[in-house]
């Protein structure tokens, strides 16, 4: 929540905050030993791409692979659904996805004080 007297938030405004997206995939025996990467797109509510990251996995081991996409600056300039779209690839070929999750964003200003508390 922003103070009542805060200036208007820019359409592409970001909160200076680190955040992350975590994804884990189980692998069958024949899927192990390949070069996996995860594409993570962050899309504003108006459909414009904010950020694209491609994360390369270390050599997968038994139990699967995991990715953590860390980002600086949380999108807050537009009310609505910020989309996080993820696609799993082997050697730049899509093998799973894209799949998406949404983060609902709503910027509010606080109400002015109604009286003085003593």
pTM, full prediction = 0.81
CA pair distance 105, 17, nearest whole angstrom: 15
Q: What CATH number was assigned to the domain covering residues 14-105?
A: 2.60.40.10
- Using CA atoms, how far residue 94 sits from 102, 103, 106, in Å, is 21, 24, 33
Instruction: Calculate the dihedral angle through the C-alpha atoms of 51, 102, 88, 62, rounding to the nearest 10 degrees.
Output: 120
108: pLDDT confidence band, cut at 50, 70 and 90? confident
pLDDT at 87: 96
């Amino acid at each position: 929540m922003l103070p009542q007297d805060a200036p208007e938030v820019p359409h592409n405004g970001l909160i200076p905050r680190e955040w992350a997206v975590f994804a884990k995939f189980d692998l069958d025996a024949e899927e192990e030993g390949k070069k996996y990467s995860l594409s993570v797109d962050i899309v504003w509510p108006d459909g414009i791409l904010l950020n694209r990251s491609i994360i390369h996995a270390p050599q997968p081991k038994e139990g699967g692979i995991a990715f953590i996409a860390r980002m600086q600056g949380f999108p807050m300039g537009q009310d609505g659904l910020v989309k996080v779209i993820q696609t799993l690839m082997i050697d730049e070929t899509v093998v799973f996805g894209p799949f998406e999750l949404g983060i609902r964003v709503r910027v509010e200003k606080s109400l002015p004080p109604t009286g003085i508390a003593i």
